[in-house]
Amino acid sequence: MEGKGFDASRYLTRVEGREYLEVKWRLLWLRTEHPDAILETELSEHREGYALFKARVVLPSGGEASGWGSETVEQFEEYLEAAETKALGRALAALGYGTQFCQDFALAAESMEPVVDAPIPLHRPLKSNGRARQTRATEAQVNAIYAIARQVYSWDERAVEQKCLETFKRSTGELSKGEASRLIDDLKAKKLGA
């Protein structure tokens, strides 16, 4: 596919020390080679804070691939866009647009979060009002907070939210990874009052 003039290496981004080809550049690559390719996306499931998309890419030569992508609002504020982009990226990768540059289907390390282009979380502190801001807590961390609080303290969701507001001045969905980790440890060690 590279022989038709598109140099994908010019568009690589470094994320978590790895080279990654954003979906917008995969789309440009596809359109450079196949301007008549068909792209279809479909919202398969949508409920509060969760979206699942299916994408289908059909080449004029007959090649075809599908990809699925899901996201939650905890991971991305624009989770609908992120899920659709992830699905497109996976369908394009299945056709060879980007697979040599990134790991779309498996993550190298358990601690590494999925990379999506809408927007890409860069896993480094971002500046906000002159202070470093950490990435948000994962869905697994938030679920663990609720489960441990329910099991250890018999707290309902409202009690968990109240404790987060008292302790961190923000809701569970706004906690950083570090804050969520600290809260989980405190809950497990029974360091918090009821």
Looking at the fold, whether 87 and 6 belong to one and the same domain comes out as yes
Which residues have CB under 8 Å from 107's CB, separation 6+?
113, 114
Q: What is the mean pLDDT of residues 108-121?
A: 44
Where a domain ends, among 79, 94, 109?
Answer: 94
| 123 belongs to a structural domain | no
Task: Give 67-131 as a DSSP string.
Answer: EEEEEETTT-TTHHHHHHHHHHHHHHHHTTSSTTT--SS--SSTTSPPP-SSSPP-SSPEEETTE
Residue 88 falls inside a structural domain: yes
In a domain, 14, yes or no: yes
The answer to the question of residue 76 being in a domain is yes
Q: pLDDT at residue 37 above 90?
A: yes
| % of the chain at pLDDT higher than 90 | 28
State pTM to two decimals.
0.53
Residue range of the domain that includes 143 = 134-188
Residues 90 and 6 in one domain: yes
pLDDT in tens, 59-85: 998 889 999 999 999 888 889 999 999
Residue 70 is predicted with a pLDDT of 93
Counting the structural domains of the chain, the total is 2
pLDDT reading at 151 higher than 50: yes
CA 33/CA 63 separation, integer angstroms: 13
Q: What is the CATH number of the domain that holds 43?
A: 3.30.160
Are residues 13 and 88 part of one domain?
A: yes
**Has residue 146 been placed in a domain?**
yes
- Rounded average pLDDT over 124-142: 58
